[in-house]
A and B are shown apart, each in its own frame.
Chain A
Amino acid sequence: MAGALLEVDGLTKRFGGFMALNRVTIHVNPGERFGLIGPNGSGKTTLINCVSGSLPADGGRIVFEGHDITSMPAHRRTRLGIVRSFQIPKPFRSMTVLENLGIPLENAAHGRAAEGAGAMEILGTIGLASKAHLRPAGLTQIEMRKLELARAMAARPKLLISDEAMAGLSSAEVDDILTILFRLSAQGITIIMIEHIMRAVMRFSERIVVLDAGERIAEGTPDEIGRNPAVEKAYLGE
């Protein structure tokens, strides 16, 4: 598959003797809306940690826009355009919401900042404008998740990886976030969505890969994945 934006080839990650990822291969195309699903503990976040550079891989190769980034430090991957949000929000607690967005704008979005929205605009899109001058401690859990997404958007991603941005959100809020992600996708940003809310991933993704116990067990369109017996077994158990 020449011309993939992100190629993960044979990625392996161990924690001690535990195999968290076992030779996982995933290709994501430019502009694609890509879903990554799997039961709890199947290795989704670990995969994202390896792709974003938070964790070193133990084997395999990661290629972004043709560059081998397997051993590149995380901040340089971000500057190349791979930006992730955290499943457990990790805000900069001493800063206001607005200042939180200032960090990626200043450090990652160099050169791309001019084309994109400013911090206030991003907060407006995501519905946090009225909280711009609060510290994260004054936010609700849901607002904290929105801040995660807003901060990632401020880094002007080419590839946005959203790790369970919707967990705990109401159905209307899920729709809000989906609308935002669809809009980003329409702007040409490639998106990997990790999500347990099936309704959302199925609606959003053009293609889905399923992980189970660190192995890739299925790939296909939402329809194909919905009908796949192996996927059903992974989710429902034996």
Chain B
Amino acid sequence: MRHTAGTLLVGLAVVAAGIAVAMLRVNPYLYFAGYVILQYVVIATAWNILGGYGGYVNFGTPAFFALGAYTAVVLIQWIRAPLPVLLLAGGLVSALLGLGIGYLTLRLRGVFFSIATLALSIVLQTMIMNWDYVGGSRGLSVLRPSGPPFGNYVVFLFTVMVALAVGAVTVARFIERSWIGRGLSALRDNEEAAECMGVPTLRLKLFATTVSGFLLGVAGAPFPYYVTFVEPNSAFAIDYAVNALAMPMIGGTTSWIGPVIGAVLLGSAQQLATVTISSEMNLFIVGVVLVAFVVLAPEGILGLVRRLRGR
């Protein structure tokens, strides 16, 4: 109980700090960049629940993210639904997709699962490109609601993303420390042995894919208001697939803090590269850093720290 209270307190403190930063009204670009970094905290954390804890590598992150974004687009177009509804609906629709890929794990393991999720992303993108109501391949402009808190919608979205990041990390941390997280590690290590030791592997996999899908969808739901022009190529960007995997791997996949470290470091580096060099440098940086880590520190920064501490 004291632990839970402590976690809650830290979470609230981070959200409060986010609001304080929002009220500071520093250079607007910082909120813009901060949003992206926090969005990656959510994405990397969500990916890691399935990929890091459970060992099922999802290459289809763009599908879940974009599904959240396009669910929001539909609701905005249709009834101009308020942001909390967009977040919830985007999460739920992606959670359903997650549940679907959970059943895929019955037949597909390892690299075959990963390929299937990649294919899923491509199929979904093609479908969206041919759906005129959400703008098809040309894309669609979205009008932000007027009169946002803090007087600026991006600043407001920044605080929303702070709260979502805190929420996602809290969920991941809770899972990691419960029997569910231990069961997922067991099935990652050896699925047959886990099942034979009483771990309900299918149920845990469905749980992981659903929660992971939900959080990825939630991360995508504010996207239309953030960019104000949604088109398939940006919503389904390969960056999401690569970063979702690279950030936890660089930070360390075995603990909730790993994806956070990875997202903050890599996300910041990418934002910096975007302003100083060019946005094309983003994936190049990720590629180089990822290769370096896979070769030199396969357990990520957490693994390095553990090794330095000598345990």
Enumerate chain A interface residues (CB-CB to B < 8 A): 52-54, 73-75, 78-79, 83-84, 86, 90-95, 99, 102-104, 106-109, 151, 155
Contacts and interface: CB of A to CB of B under 8 A. Distances in A.
A90 B200 contact: no
Contacts of A102: 182
21 contacts: A53-B195, A75-B195, A78-B196, A83-B196, A83-B197, A91-B190, A92-B189, A92-B194, A94-B185, A94-B189, A95-B186, A103-B182, A103-B199, A106-B182, A107-B183, A107-B198, A107-B199, A107-B200, A108-B198, A151-B197, A155-B198
If over half of B's interface residues share one DSSP class (helix, strand or loop), that class is named, otherwise mixed; here it is: helix
B112 interface: no
Contacts of A93: 189-190
A49 B195 CA distance: 12
B200 A103 contact: no
B210 interface: no
B252 to A, nearest CB: 12
B80 interface: no
A185 B84 CA distance: 60
A92 B198 contact: no
A78 B192 contact: no
Contacts, number: 75
B186 A103 contact: yes
A90 B190 contact: yes
B201 interface: yes
B196 A95 contact: no
A54 B199 contact: no
B179 interface: yes
Interface string B160-197: 00000000000000000001001101101110111111
B124 interface: no
Contacts of B199: 75, 103, 107
B254 interface: yes
Contacts of A106: 179, 182-183
A74 B196 contact: yes
A108 B202 CA distance: 15
Among A53, A91, A92, A104, max chain B CB count under 10 A is at: A92
B197 A95 contact: no
Given A75-B200, A78-B197, 20 more contacts: A54-B196, A74-B196, A75-B195, A75-B196, A78-B195, A78-B196, A78-B198, A79-B198, A83-B197, A90-B190, A92-B186, A92-B193, A93-B190, A95-B185, A102-B182, A103-B182, A103-B183, A107-B179, A107-B183, A107-B199
A158 to B, nearest CB: 13
A74 to B, nearest CB: 4
